[in-house]
Amino acid sequence: MKCHVIKTPVGIFAFDEKMKLIGSYMFPNDPEKAAQEFTRQLPREFLNDLHAKNYNEISTIPVQIQIYELMKENVSDLDKFLVDFGIAFSRINMKSLIRKDMVLIQAINALDDINKTVNLFTLRIKEWFGLHYPEYNVTDNLLIGSIIEHGNRQNFPKFKKSSGVDLDENDIDTVISFANTIRNLEGEKKVLERYVSHTCEEIIPNFSSLIEPLLAARILSHAGSLEKLAKMTSSTIQLLGAEKALFRHLKKRGKSPKYGLIYHSSYIQKSSDDKKGKVARILSAKLMIAARTDFYSKRDVRKKLKEDLENTILKLSITA
Amino acid sequence: MKEIFYNVFTKNRLLYTLNQCPGQNVYGEKLVNEGKKEYRTWDPYRSKLAATMFKGLSYFNLKPDSSVLYLGASTGTTVSHISDITSGMVYAVEFSERMMRNLLTLSGRRKNIMPLLLDARFPEKYSWIESVDMVYVDIADPQETEIAIRNAQLFLKGNGLLFIAVKSQSIDVTKDPSVIYKEESEKLVNSDFKILQTIDLEPYEKHHAMLVCSFVKNRKMTSP
């Protein structure tokens, strides 16, 4: 015989085809415990009980029954119970949704933020120190190093004359402290780079074997999560990061973009201009396979993917 | 304060709802005291339902005990105002874990918001909720109208109202918004709904419209 089983926050109810209640399994009165039971599979003893009553076909498709009234009978303050249940239940769901890939995404975003900040700060210190010693013209890194080392322009080895303004000790100390901040940020950047590469190998080994780990993490961050990335088509992966151009094209203005973030991959960088689009297509197809393997089966297919990819790219340059 | 709908007030061209948690605001909105009561301003730039009221909503059916199914609750901006208006249960369905974090804090403070971290595409997962007086749908998804229809058919009372905040950009960026509003309305009409009002939310939201619908006739609930 057929029966309908409905799981509610209060407990599990079973109905026969005439919508008569034929069995129930109540959850504990405590919302937290009830939420835990709710997220589990249907309990064995309940199913066995139904089988014993000769109900073999169990359907969980919703049917319109006044199940709410039934719940109300079983709990004294249903509204309060439901609110607490909702909170507990959503907490449990949240926990299962957050995975390690989200940690990686935060790390790569932090790295990009630091990059931006370092550039911004370096520009600022150039302007700032330039007031004092405009003749000193070296690369950014060297500038910060020598500010920390020498401080006032009189201490610079090659200093003769300057058209800049004189700074007293207090002024120059502030500049030095700012330069130190930039240097610390650069140290932090190296730590993060190492962390991201390391974590990439752990979470997305196949994916990050085809492109540079930092780029892999960036693509992952753009997709939102590993699950989302794994569900993307290769053409979507190919154009991640080129949304603006894509939608401009879809609105029938402009050419279709050939690549998004993956443009920075060395495979595309080293191929000739007329092949770049084709290589992007081949690469994204392999990336898609890699992402799915990383999310679902978690096998190691690094070697095969890499060989396939390089062969296909090689063929491309021979045939053309 | 002038009451325009039940428990929705207006004064000096601003909207207010009665604060059920006096002294606390939810998203940085202003609290205003008048008489012995505290009101929360309802910002039309933050909440599409408030924007709809500003643009001339004439159907609104919340009463003291009305229950609401809210799909796409997000961080709870609009949800908090609905929970001010009615003392019935507000079932707040949201699929994003990040948005749910803020919604949980809100739900902890209120008595009538039940957060549900579930996908509105699968209403069977919450098939046990009571039948509601209002289904409010605000999800950025190409399938939004289909999801709304399915949920309304399952949970909306015969005389209830269905609100759909249509974001044309997430249904099809290449089409003109007004074309999309028409297409979505047609889908609703084909599923036995009547469009009571179509309200363009310009200038509060770009490329958004609110569709206010009800069943064609006061029909009995049927199983899907």
The answer to whether the CB of B1 falls within 8 A of the CB of B16 is yes
A contacts of B221 (beta carbons < 8 Å): 64
CA-based nearest residue in chain B for residue A8: B128
B contacts of A244 (beta carbons < 8 Å): none
Cα-Cα-Cα-Cα torsion B64, B70, B76, B79, nearest 10 degrees, comes to -20
CATH number of the CATH domain containing B48: 3.40.50.150
The residue segments making up the domain with residue A298 are: 209-318
A139 in the same domain as A177? yes
Residue A100 CA: distances (Å) to CA of A114, A204, A214 = 22, 11, 16
B149 pLDDT more than 90 = yes
The neighbouring-strand residues paired with A151 are: none
Question: How much is the ipTM here?
Answer: 0.89
Q: What is the average per-residue pLDDT within B110-117?
A: 94
**B202 in a domain, yes or no?**
yes
CA-based nearest residue in chain A for residue B113: A83
**B34 in a domain, yes or no?**
no
The residue segments making up the domain with residue B196 are: 43-215
Please classify residue A306 by burial: count the beta carbons closer than 10 Å to its beta carbon, then call 0-12 exposed, 13-18 middle and 19+ buried. Answer: middle
Tally of domains in chain B: 1
Show which residues on chain A lie within 8 Å of chain B, measured between beta carbons.
6-9, 60-64, 67-68, 71, 79-80, 82-83, 85-87, 89-91, 93-94, 97-98, 247, 250-252
B contacts of A6 (beta carbons < 8 Å): 127-128
Q: Which of these, A317, A241, A235, A315, lies nearest to A283 by C-alpha position? A: A235
Query: What mean pLDDT is reported for chain B?
Result: 92
Give alpha helix (H) positions in A61-204: 67-74, 78-97, 100-130, 140-150, 169-203
**HEC string for chain B:** CEEEECCEEEECCEEEEECCCCCCCCCCCCEEEECCEEEEEECCCCCHHHHHHHCCCCCCCCCCCCCEEEECCCCCHHHHHHHHHCCCCEEEEECCHHHHHHHHHHHHHCCCEEEEECCCCCHHHHCCCCCEEEEEECCCCCCHHHHHHHHHHHHEEEEEEEEEEEEHHHHCCCCCHHHHHHHHHHHHHHCCEEEEEEEECCCCCCCEEEEEEEECCCCCCCCC
Give alpha helix (H) positions in A204-260: 205-210, 213-223, 226-230, 234-239, 243-250
Q: What is the pTM of this model?
A: 0.79
**B110 in a domain, yes or no?**
yes
The more confidently predicted of residues A62 and B2 is: B2
**A19 in a domain, yes or no?**
yes
The predicted pLDDT at position A85 comes to: 95
What is the per-residue pLDDT across B4-54, written as a single tens digit (0 to 9) for each? 999 999 999 999 999 999 999 999 999 999 989 999 999 999 999 999 999
Sheet with A57-59: strands ordered across = A21-26, A11-15, A2-7, A57-59
The predicted pLDDT at position B223 comes to: 44
Residue after which a domain boundary falls, among A197, A218, A253: A197
The neighbouring-strand residues paired with B15 are: B10, B42
Q: How far is A264 from chain B (nearest CA, A)?
A: 28
The predicted pLDDT at position B114 comes to: 95
**B114 in a domain, yes or no?**
yes
DSSP conformation class of A18: T
Length of chain B: 224
- The β-bridge relationship of strands B132-137 and B113-117 is unpaired
Rounded CA-CA distance B140/A29 in Å is 36
The predicted pLDDT at position A194 comes to: 95
Per-residue pLDDT of chain A (320 residues; tens, 9 = 90+): 888 888 899 999 888 888 888 888 999 999 999 999 999 888 888 988 888 888 888 887 766 667 888 888 888 889 999 999 999 999 998 888 778 889 999 999 999 999 999 999 999 999 999 999 888 888 888 899 999 999 888 888 888 888 888 888 899 999 999 999 999 999 999 999 999 999 999 999 999 999 999 999 999 999 999 999 999 999 999 999 998 889 889 888 888 899 999 999 999 999 999 999 999 999 999 999 999 999 999 899 999 999 999 999 999 878 75
Q: Which two tokens stand for residue B99?
A: 């948005």
CATH number of the CATH domain containing A72: 3.30.420.220
Give residues with Cβ within 8 angstroms of A112, minimum separation 6. A218
Q: What is the average per-residue pLDDT within B66-88?
A: 94
Q: Which member of A9, A68, A251 has the closest CB to residue B130?
A: A68
Q: Which two tokens stand for residue A172?
A: 């120059």
A275 in the same domain as A241? yes
- The β-bridge relationship of strands B208-215 and B156-167 is antiparallel
B contacts of A97 (beta carbons < 8 Å): 97, 117
Rounded CA-CA distance A89/A121 in Å is 46
Residue after which a domain boundary falls, among A62, A97, A132: A97
**A111 in a domain, yes or no?**
yes
A241 in the same domain as A262? yes
**A204 in a domain, yes or no?**
no
Residue after which a domain boundary falls, among A97, A114, A148: A97
CB contact under 8 A, B117 and A67: no
Q: Which two tokens stand for residue A26?
A: 């109540």
The answer to whether the CB of B164 falls within 8 A of the CB of B211 is yes
CB contact under 8 A, A62 and B224: yes
Residue A251: count of CB within 10 angstroms of its CB: 11
**B1 in a domain, yes or no?**
no
**B196 in a domain, yes or no?**
yes
**B69 in a domain, yes or no?**
yes
3-state secondary structure of A295: helix
A92 in the same domain as A119? no
Q: Which two tokens stand for residue A127?
A: 């302007």
A214 in the same domain as A150? no
**A203 in a domain, yes or no?**
no
Question: If pLDDT is split at 50, 70 and 90, which confidence band does B195 have?
Answer: very high
Q: Which member of B110, B123, B223 has the closest CB to residue A63?
A: B223
**B63 in a domain, yes or no?**
yes
CATH number of the CATH domain containing A246: 1.10.246.90
Question: If pLDDT is split at 50, 70 and 90, which confidence band does B152 have?
Answer: very high
Residue type, A208: S
Stated as kind and residue range, the H or E segment containing A21 is strand A21-26
Rounded CA-CA distance A53/A269 in Å is 69
Tally of domains in chain A: 3
The answer to whether the CB of B23 falls within 8 A of the CB of B61 is no
| Residue of B97, B126, B155 to mutate, testing the A interface (most A Cβ within 10 Å of its Cβ) | B97
A256 in the same domain as A179? no
Residue B56 CA: distances (Å) to CA of A134, B63, B118 = 63, 19, 32
